Amino acid sequence: MDNTISAIGREYANSLTSQPIKWRPGLTIRKNSDGSIDSSSLGYQYVIQTTSFIRPCVIQQKLYQVNIADFVPVTFGDGAWMKQIITNATGILNGNFKEGVRDALNPGPASIPKVDVAIAPITATIDTWVGAYNYDLAEVNQALASNNWDLITARMKANRMVWVLGTQDIAFLGLDSNLAQFPGLYSNSQVTVNTSLITAAISSLAATPSAFQALVAGLLQAYADNAGYTAQPDTFVIPYDDFFGLGAATSADFPINSMIKYMLDAFKMMTGNDNFKILPSRYGMAARNAGYWNANGTNRYVLYNRDENNGETVKMDFPVDYTLNPAMSADGFNWTGIAYGQFSGAIVYRVPEVLYFDYPA
């Protein structure tokens, strides 16, 4: 994944459709009163002196990026250009073993009991994204004159970054305008929300080791109850700000293990899975998820079975991955490059194998 981006950043790249930004000369990067970048301060033209030296390197903007596949299994290419992907789920309707037992004390009913099964579809709705970048010959030649920065490449990277950050948001939070059909890992309305077990940041329990140990045991018990003892979790995603605090010792008197090491070791031992992971995410922080399932957001923890090999618990589809067409011109002076792709939400197929833990912002 390309971790670089030009001066066109996420602060305004996501609003390109509604408020296109005109590329204008600028001197320094300025910020508006709300903290967003003042686009009028950006450009490729600024004043230099004859004694100025321009370094060949260009400092790129950094943005919060994660590998979606570390949290949600992804599939590419299934159902390209379709409107939905259907996965069939099956289960046993009836069937009683004891009714089939035949002996001298239990001759059984006259007819042999029969088993039956049923099948039902689970639908992943597909949506299409299209994004473009523009340039003209004058802009290109003016930028090339600096012999330092490639305007076309920068805008191509910015266009791709809009896709990367947008699909990342959907993978975790969903599409806020249609959460029912495009839920994220954090925002599936069918998943049970436990609000009684975690009532404050886990790291705040550093001063009370017994409460921390009870919480670790309670998390696995709550998951087992929710899943009907049919599955074990293999991933625990926690808010990033709480993650940093878990480096504290489990006991000030005997600072042998950190809280996160104790928790991870306990999860590995109790689930029998040495690959169990505890992962941090900004999306679990109330300030980041405000407006999705709660106006003020909640601090949300997710305990689930990723089922990485099969993706039967949760999965996100990319029927058409990000594709960039060559830029084309209708007049030989203005050029437009168009990119496109298709995506689904992060669909939970085995709902009992995912469990949310919330406490208020």
- At 233-292, the pLDDT tens digits run 999 999 999 999 999 887 766 677 899 999 999 999 999 999 999 999 999 999 999 999
Mean pLDDT, residues 335-357 taken together: 97
pLDDT at 13 over 70: no
Which pLDDT score is estimated for 30?
61
Beta bridge pairs of residue 347: 315
Q: What's the token pair of residue 41?
A: 């301060």
Q: What's the token pair of residue 269?
A: 């031992």
Lowest mean pLDDT among 44-58, 187-201, 209-223, 324-338: 44-58
Contact 166, 129 (CB under 8 A): yes
pLDDT at 162 over 50: yes
Lowest mean pLDDT among 32-46, 174-188, 231-245, 330-344: 32-46
Residue predicted with more confidence, 33 or 100: 100
pTM (predicted TM-score): 0.83
Beta bridge pairs of residue 358: 300
Tell me the per-residue pLDDT of 79-90, one tens digit each, with 9 for 90 and over.
999 999 999 999
Closest CA to 37 of 54, 55, 56, 24: 24
Percent of the chain with pLDDT over 90: 65
DSSP SS3 for 183: strand
Q: What average pLDDT does the structure give for the chain?
A: 86
Which pLDDT score is estimated for 88?
94
DSSP labels for 27-63? SS-EE-TTS-EEGGG--S-----TT----S--PPP--
Mean pLDDT, residues 299-328 taken together: 93
Contact 149, 265 (CB under 8 A): no
Which pLDDT score is estimated for 56?
73
Contact 354, 191 (CB under 8 A): yes
Q: What's the token pair of residue 107?
A: 């001759």
Distance CA 352, CA 293 (A): 19
Residue predicted with more confidence, 118 or 31: 118
∠ CA 134-174-215, rounded to 5°: 140
Task: Phi first, then psi: give them for residue 189, nearest 5 degrees.
Answer: -70, -15
The H-or-E segment that residue 355 falls in is strand 354-360
pLDDT at 27 over 50: no
CATH of range 65-83+126-361; options 3.30.930.10, 3.40.50.300, 3.30.70.270, 3.30.2320.10? 3.30.2320.10
How many Cα neighbours within 13 Å face the side chain of 166? Answer: 23
* pLDDT range class, residue 145, cuts 50, 70, 90: confident
pLDDT at 182 over 50: yes
Residues 6+ apart with CB under 8 A from 60: 4, 5, 6
Which pLDDT score is estimated for 26?
40
Handedness of CA 16, 17, 20, 23 (dihedral sign): positive
pLDDT at 15 over 50: no
Task: Phi first, then psi: give them for residue 225, nearest 5 degrees.
Answer: -65, -40
Q: What is the DSSP letter of 22?
A: P
Residue written as token pair 């505890």: 278
pLDDT at 12 over 60: no
Q: What's the token pair of residue 207?
A: 């001063």
Residues in the chain: 361
Contact 210, 266 (CB under 8 A): no
DSSP labels for 277-346? EEEEEGGGSHHHHTTTSSTT-EEEEEEE---TTT--SEEEEESS--EEPPPEESSSSEEEEEEEEEE--E
Sketch the domain layout of the chain as residue ranges.
65-83+126-361, 84-124
